Amino acid sequence: MTGHLSPIQVEDYHRNRLSSEVLLEVDDHLADCGDCRQLMESSTLHTLPLYDDFATEAAVGSHLTFEQSAAFVDGLVTGEERRTLEDHLAACAQCAPLISDLRIFRNQVASELDREVRPSDSLTEPRLHSNNASRSKFPVWLYASVAAVVFLGIAAWVVWRFTSTSARREAVVVSPTVATTPSIDLVSPTPFGRDAGTVLVRLNDGGSSLTINSQGELVGVEAWPQEYQRMAREALMNQRVEKSSQLAGLNRRGSSLMGGDDKGQTFGVIEPVGKIIFSDRPVFRWSTLTGATGYIVEVYDGNFNSVATSPVITGNSWTAPSLKRGQLYSWQVKAAKEGQEFLAPRPPAAQARFRVLDQASSAEISRARRDYSSSHLLLGLLYAKAGLLDEAERELSALQAVNPDASVLRRLSESVRASRN
């Protein structure tokens, strides 16, 4: 770079419109040029009116203020207040993209601050460079005002984001570079982060942005435990969820479970059949038999020992007493009609089996419901892992509703449905 910075370059610097290469050149020039440093520092004050205007406008609106958005992105909002903001973001088509873009902006700033800095006693002291890293030094002079610059830069960008919808950057689609990666709908690569690689998946999950790049890096869920991050990364990269081992022996055989009388009247069990249930007090349901005067439900353990029997019931449902978790059970219902007894399922049809979710999985899911209630992806994957297929499909469907173009979610749902067979 020759000569001093132009007013346009100064403005572009504060508004974060410089390319990565130009930004490095400007940084190096500022480290050597006291006049340009003074110009840059004095010009930061010009962004204050922009933030004032934004604060006034957001204060009277129904959307998140900048303070709320910044605190949410930085993880400073917890408890009931965070749940309230997450509920708003899940339903607000304006605030959710803003939070996503603001998080990306923050990550860019963080990556710039991570560049190596070598302090010196004076701004005029000559800088020391290695042969291989002469352009990797972050200017020392910026440390005194970095907090103000970042804050004001973000504020200016937020105003621009709200008031200039016609100036959005055009998305660039790049083919994945990992040959073994399954075909995934590509989204625009992140405009920041020079080493992040191509973004393969971007999802809006509970108001937060989640991405996976071509290097297999999962971004946006750093607060999750490592095991949960690994589970999400594998599911999204493979575009499928593994069938839970707890489903073994529970395959449903359709009409073979149905019973009936000699006149062909349908009578059979409905739920639970061929599934895992979360509650240890299952609700049994069956279809009615015309003319029946009462029903009795019988529940057996894996050795066909009786563990629960209902009284005579005139309706078509019954809630059992507490059953042991992690155990396999079967059940049948008897109908009394005109002095005769009708059984469903009727031998030689297969038994109506189900399993009560084990204690460890139940506790894990209860914690996830409490701590990650806004994440449809995480809850869906945990449900699928535990074999709770109805619940898994419900969460993935909710996630698909806010990400209608994400084919990876359709494939995840298909793999969950395939687990029923």
DSSP 20-49: HHHHHHHHHHHHH-HHHHHHHHHHGGGGHH
Beta bridge pairs of residue 331: 299, 352
Q: What percent of the chain has pLDDT over 70?
A: 65
| Long-range contacts formed by 198-202: CB under 8 A, 24+ apart | 198/174, 200/176, 200/237, 201/236, 201/406, 201/408
Q: Is 417 exposed, middle or buried (0-12, 13-18, 19+ CB in 10 A)?
A: exposed
Which value, to the nearest 10 degrees, does the dihedral of the CA atoms of residues 58, 60, 62, 66 take?
Answer: 20
Task: Tell whether the model's pLDDT for residue 305 goes beyond 80.
Answer: yes
Choose among 311, 302, 293, 289: nearest CA to 331. Answer: 302
pLDDT at residue 95, as a whole number: 77
Mean pLDDT, rounded, for 285-295: 95
| Angstrom distance (rounded) from CA 30 to CA 143 | 13
Instruction: Categorize the per-residue pLDDT at 20 as very low, low, confident or very high, splitting at 50, 70 and 90.
Output: low
Q: In which band, very low, low, confident or very high, does the pLDDT at 390 lie, cut at 50, 70 and 90?
A: very high
Q: For 72, list phi and psi in degrees, rounded to 5.
A: -65, -45
Q: Of residues 303 and 166, which shows the higher confidence score?
A: 303
Residues 266-293 have a mean pLDDT of 94
Predicted confidence at residue 109, as pLDDT, reads 54
Domain 255-355 has CATH 3.40.50.10860: no
Tell whether pTM > 0.75.
Answer: no
Report the range out of 23-27, 60-64, 135-139, 268-272 with the highest average pLDDT.
Answer: 268-272
- The domain segmentation of the chain, as residue ranges, is 7-167, 255-355
Rounded Cα–Cα distance for residues 82 and 76 (Å): 9
Tell me what pLDDT residue 116 has: 42
pLDDT: is 190 or 68 the higher one?
A: 68
Burial (CB < 10 A; 0-12, 13-18, 19+), residue 290, is exposed
Find, among 147, 189, 197, the residue nearest to 170 by Cα. 189
| Lookup result for tokens 């000699």 | 262
Is the pLDDT at 176 greater than 50? The verdict is: no
